[in-house]
Amino acid sequence: MKSMTEGNLRSAFAGESQAHMRYLIYADKAEKEGKSNLARLFRAIAYSEQVHATNHFNTLGENKSLSENLQNSINGETYEVNEMYPSFLEVAKYQEEKRAQKSIMNAFEAEKVHSKMYEKAKKTIDEGKDTSFNNIYVCEVCGYTIEDTVPDRCPVCNAPREKFRKF
């Protein structure tokens, strides 16, 4: 693929991905405010944006074998833990942005778990088996992720166990 087209597809993938998430966030807000039809509209268009992003991603040849996809995920989570979030946190501290510090720390702590979960999954996939995760729970407040049992309180943000969503 020619470099200008590839660059355009990568930019389009990023834009469509961000629109997808932004519209889901808007849908949640509309739902909480009792506007279920508006929420439905946001979710429908979010799905459309996901289709666009998926098409761009696949056209770029980025959706590879499961093992390669897991390794790419491990690399991304490791980068976030080792480089991205520590430097973002330092800037937020320097600029005394307390809310940003909290948001960054919540993500930072969750990313540590994600890379371990992906490593576990890659090991079983590389053995030719499916992963063996039982229940996976995610804190709806901070994103902390845990397998099997929900703690009484989230170890990252102290949210009660009722704030964990089961997957």
The mean pLDDT value for 97-118 works out to: 97
CA 154/CA 141 separation, integer angstroms:
9
pTM of the predicted model as reported, rounded to 2 decimal places? 0.90
Instruction: Report the pLDDT value the prediction gives residue 57, as an integer from 0 to 100.
Output: 98
Report the interhelical angle of 85-94 vs 98-126 (nearest 10°): 180
The mean pLDDT value for 50-76 works out to: 98
CA 148/CA 161 separation, integer angstroms:
13
Instruction: Report the pLDDT value the prediction gives residue 86, as an integer from 0 to 100.
Output: 98
Kindly tell me the sign of the dihedral angle through the C-alpha atoms of 88, 94, 96, 98. positive
Second-level CATH architecture of 3-59: Up-down Bundle (1.20)
- Spans of all domains in the chain: 3-59, 65-130, 133-167
**5-46 confidence digits (pLDDT tens):** 999 999 999 999 999 999 999 999 999 999 999 999 999 999
CB 166, CB 136: distance < 8 Å? yes
**122-144 confidence digits (pLDDT tens):** 999 999 999 989 999 999 999 99
Closest to 143 measured CA to CA, from 159, 131, 132, 122: 159
pLDDT bucket at 163, cuts 50 / 70 / 90: very high
Asked if the 133-167 domain carries CATH number 2.20.28.10, the reply is: yes
Instruction: Report the pLDDT value the prediction gives residue 90, as an integer from 0 to 100.
Output: 98
Name the token pair of 46. 């979010």
